């Protein structure tokens, strides 16, 4: 006869093999990151990829990184959100655009970072409405003060109420009259909003200058942050906290303070 304590030990060992380990457990959600190099945005890629993969491990979500537009021809329904990270959305062809539009109409979610918020006039009106704003001019990178517009939104948790930050603070317009909810603003008194690249006409936006916002679109959620120009930003703890809050909300819809 087998002693009682040995029987209990054997059952515990068998149970350990039968149950999935924490390392092999299903992720909370899956995130597709679409990041492609451009003329002014390419050095960020290895830094951002390393940081986002670390965040995925820390926060237990699955990250798929791609620089191929044809990835949109796959099964997008498996992703809790799709992140456009400085990628040029207009490079998607008609079939890839249709797949992404169908994903959003089925309840998919999108996050747009910095350069991805710029799309040529008329190139893809549906995506411009998804962004919710039209980037009017391309300013110089300057140091300014970013202010919190929505303390209850996850992308502001851990961000100072007045945050000294250096970036290209895009001025925007709203030709589609899309209502958005500002998350972060920039104080135009803290930098020169008329300093733009040659060949453009500068226009200050005044007190209403959002640099991050969210809104519902189709049947999903959209979060946009215009911040994130250069590689070093993707090593900055405050900026990564901002990004992670956006990813978390976009993929799950959770975290907003009521």
State the Cα–Cα distance between residues 188 and 199, nearest whole angstrom: 21
Write out pLDDT tens, residues 14-27: 333 333 333 456 89
Q: How confident is the model at residue 40 (pLDDT cuts 50, 70, 90)?
A: low
The pLDDT of residue 89: 96
Pairing state between β 81-85 and 110-113? parallel
Write out pLDDT tens, residues 92-119: 999 999 999 999 999 999 999 999 999 9
28-32, 34-38, 117-121, 230-234: the lowest-pLDDT one: 34-38
Whether the predicted pLDDT of 12 surpasses 90:
no
The pLDDT of residue 138: 85
Whether the predicted pLDDT of 201 surpasses 90:
no
Sort 35 into a burial class: Cβ within 10 Å, 0-12 / 13-18 / 19+: buried
Q: Using alpha carbons, select from 157, 160, 130 the residue that is nearest to residue 146.
A: 160
Whether this model's pTM surpasses 0.85: yes
Write out pLDDT tens, residues 42-97: 588 999 999 999 999 999 999 999 999 999 999 999 999 999 999 999 999 999 99
What's the mean pLDDT in 227-251? 97
| Average pLDDT over all residues of the chain | 90
What's the mean pLDDT in 151-178? 97
The pLDDT of residue 42: 59
């Amino acid at each position: 006869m087998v002693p009682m304590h040995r029987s209990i030990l054997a059952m515990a060992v068998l149970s350990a093999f039968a149950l999935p380990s924490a390392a092999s457990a299903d992720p909370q959600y899956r995130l597709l990151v679409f990041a492609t190099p451009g003329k002014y945005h390419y050095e960020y890629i290895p830094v951002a990829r390393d940081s986002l993969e670390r965040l995925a491990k820390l926060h237990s979500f699955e990250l798929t990184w791609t620089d191929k537009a044809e990835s949109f021809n796959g099964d997008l329904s498996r992703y809790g959100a799709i992140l456009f990270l400085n990628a040029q959305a207009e490079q998607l062809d008609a079939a890839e655009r249709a797949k992404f539009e169908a994903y959003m109409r089925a309840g998919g979610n999108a996050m747009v970072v910095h350069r991805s918020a710029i799309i040529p006039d008329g190139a893809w009106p549906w995506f411009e409405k998804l962004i919710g704003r039209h980037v009017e001019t391309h300013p110089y990178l300057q140091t300014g003060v970013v202010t919190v517009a929505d303390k209850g939104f996850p992308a502001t948790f851990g961000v100072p109420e007045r945050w000294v930050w250096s970036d290209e603070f895009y001025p925007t317009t709203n030709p589609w009259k899309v209502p958005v909810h500002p998350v972060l603003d920039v104080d135009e008194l803290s930098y020169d909003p008329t300093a733009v690249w040659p060949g453009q006409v500068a226009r200050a936006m005044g007190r209403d200058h959002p640099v991050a916002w969210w809104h519902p679109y189709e049947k999903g959620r959209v979060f946009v942050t215009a911040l994130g120009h250069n590689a070093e930003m993707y090593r900055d703890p405050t900026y990564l906290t901002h990004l992670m809050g956006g990813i978390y909300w976009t993929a799950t819809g959770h975290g907003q303070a009521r």
